[in-house]
Amino acid sequence: MEVIMLKRVLAVLAALLVPSALAAQNPKVAAPNEHASDVAKEKVAAAMARRATHVRGEAVGLDNRPVTPATPAVRATRATPAVPNSDGGPATRAVPAAPATPAIPASPPNKPENPGAGHGRRP
């Protein structure tokens, strides 16, 4: 008798828990109800369309610009001195030195030009 009663209780519990477990798998979409105003319905529709086109993890803003490649520094070349001609003619001309070019960083730093003018706190 107790076994039959226990089976009935378990069957009733299963019948009550299965629909709630299935309903928990499908989240409710935030949609306006039928009593909402037309403006509210339009706002919700626009928000849902915006959410549908948004790529998750997408970087937005000036801080997330694509990185430009860095250019390496080039060493300066040495000057070649003039070499006198052994025949007594004009000497070969001297070649001046080429200056070195500094390296250019990959991206501009994310620092403000004037670091003292960015805060809104009083000292």
- For residue 22, the model assigns a pLDDT of 72
Q: How confident is the model at residue 112 (pLDDT cuts 50, 70, 90)?
A: low
Q: What is the pLDDT of residues 10-63, one digit of tens each?
A: 888 888 878 777 776 655 555 567 788 888 888 888 888 777 665 666 666 666
- For residue 34, the model assigns a pLDDT of 75
Residue 32 dihedral angles phi and psi, to the nearest 5°: -70, 150
- What are the beta bridge partners of residue 101? 74
Neighbours of 101 (CB within 10 A): 12
- For residue 104, the model assigns a pLDDT of 80
Q: Among 17-21, 42-46, 66-70, 98-102, whose mean pLDDT is lowest?
A: 66-70
Sign of dihedral through CA atoms 21, 26, 27, 31?
negative
Whether pLDDT at 3 is above 70: yes
Residue 2 dihedral angles phi and psi, to the nearest 5°: -70, -35
3-class DSSP string for the chain: CHHHHHHHHHHHHHHHHHHHHHHHHCCCCCCCCCCCCHHHHHHHHHHHHHHHHCCCCCCCCHHHCCCCCCECCECCECCECCECCCCCCCCECCECCECCECCECCCCCCCCCCHHHCCCCCC
- For residue 10, the model assigns a pLDDT of 86
Q: Give CA torsion, residues 24, 46, 44, 37, to 10 deg.
A: -150
Average pLDDT across the chain, whole number: 75
Q: Which two structure tokens, joined as six digits, stand for 80?
A: 């070649």
